Amino acid sequence: MANDYQNLLDADLVRASLEGDETAFGEIVRRYSPRVFSFSSRFFRRYDLIEEAAQEVFLKAFTQLKNFEGRGSLEGWLTRITVTTCINILRSTKPQNELMVSDLTEDETAWLDNKLASVSSANYQNEEDKLIAADLVNRVLETLPPEDSLILQLIDGEGASIKEASATTGWSESKVKIKAFRARRRMREAVQKLLNAKDGKLLKTDKAVK
Amino acid sequence: MKDRHILEILDEKNFAELSNDELTIFQAHSASCADCRQAFEAARISSALLNVRARAEAVEPSAFFQSKVLTAIREKQNLRKPIAAFRRWWQASYALVCSMLFIVVTLAALTFLAPKSNADQAVSTYNLYSTDSVILNQNPPRNITTEQALEVIYTERRDAVKR
């Protein structure tokens, strides 16, 4: 029975779901939950929050399924719902404060030092470094508005074009360009502040040693 | 190259897409300008961090996620049932309910707003002239008609019987 649904096209699954076929909607969830999870994880770090957001996305999709006109792909439609839902959840929560150098762990500070010293990005390829960097980038991204964080991850992180980012988010291309411009500046300034604060801290330590 | 121009290029372009020529110009300029050097370093680190983020392992849904979603949908539908039932009842019977309301409102209007009947007038006359005064011709009313006199008498009797 489940195999029958796996062979159905998205349009058929949507039609069946609208007629009240729960298994058909279950197949939509099965088919697209990895994509929704992957997108939600760009906004949240904790697994329970990612899962909560993904569940909210599918609940919204179920109630709004009659509005899906089938012009674009179901995947694109669900991705746009994911973007809107995650941004709304983040907006409703308390904004994250600026990341201070005192918030960084020793490993993260060491990673920054190492990164400053290295010219190529190939110097942090071991798994431990990757984890430290992943944690650091998440913490920096959390200090940015959710839209900025998403656009940076899409364009600068994953190398998506303006057109692709526009299709993914449902925003106009000019909006994507403006957001990317502002987001890069915000992220650069956030990192620059960390570096300045870190240098200041090092200078103080050097003076104390002398 | 002006500092502002460098910063604008850094904000405008993905760092990974900067050409070798642009990078050489930036580095040359950064050697003599501390602010631009810091901005350049920050942009380089930001780009490296975002690359790490992009290569992070994908988060997969748990095996129970599908059933969790379907359960949540069922719960939501159950919450909506009473509202849906009321809506169906209203669609079926709103004409009847409206006509009943119309009758009640009309009756209320007729009761409170319509002009008083003869009986009401008789009662008010009764309040002025008692049966005794009418029958015994004590303080005979001047403008009272026979009909009104009889109405007064019958009304008082009716009230006496009720009491």
* Cα dihedral sign, A88-A94-A98-A100: negative
Is 0.90 exceeded by the ipTM? no
Is A192–B66 a contact, with Cβ atoms under 8 angstroms apart? Answer: no
Is B72–A191 a contact, with Cβ atoms under 8 angstroms apart? Answer: no
Question: Dmax over Cα atoms in chain A, in whole Å?
Answer: 78
How far is residue A3's CA from residue A10's CA, in Å, rounded to a whole number? 14
Q: Tens place of pLDDT for every residue, chain A, 210 residues?
A: 556 888 888 889 999 988 888 889 999 999 999 999 998 988 888 899 999 999 999 999 999 988 887 778 899 999 999 999 998 988 887 666 666 666 777 777 777 777 666 644 444 556 677 777 777 888 888 888 889 989 998 998 888 899 999 988 889 999 999 999 999 999 998 888 888 776 665 444 444 444
Write the DSSP symbol of residue B136. Answer: T
Give B98's contacts (C-beta < 8 A, 6+ positions apart). none
Q: What's the pLDDT tens digit per position in B21-64?
A: 888 888 888 888 888 888 888 888 888 888 888 887 788 899 89
Is A29–B66 a contact, with Cβ atoms under 8 angstroms apart? Answer: yes
pLDDT at position A177 is 93
Is B58–A55 a contact, with Cβ atoms under 8 angstroms apart? Answer: no
Of B10, B45, B56, which is closest to A134 when you measure between CB atoms?
B56
Is B58–A22 a contact, with Cβ atoms under 8 angstroms apart? Answer: no
Question: Which residues 73-102 of B are in CB contact (within 8 Å) with A?
Answer: 73, 76
Sort out which chain A residues have CB atoms less than 8 A from B45's CB and list them: 112, 115-116, 191, 195
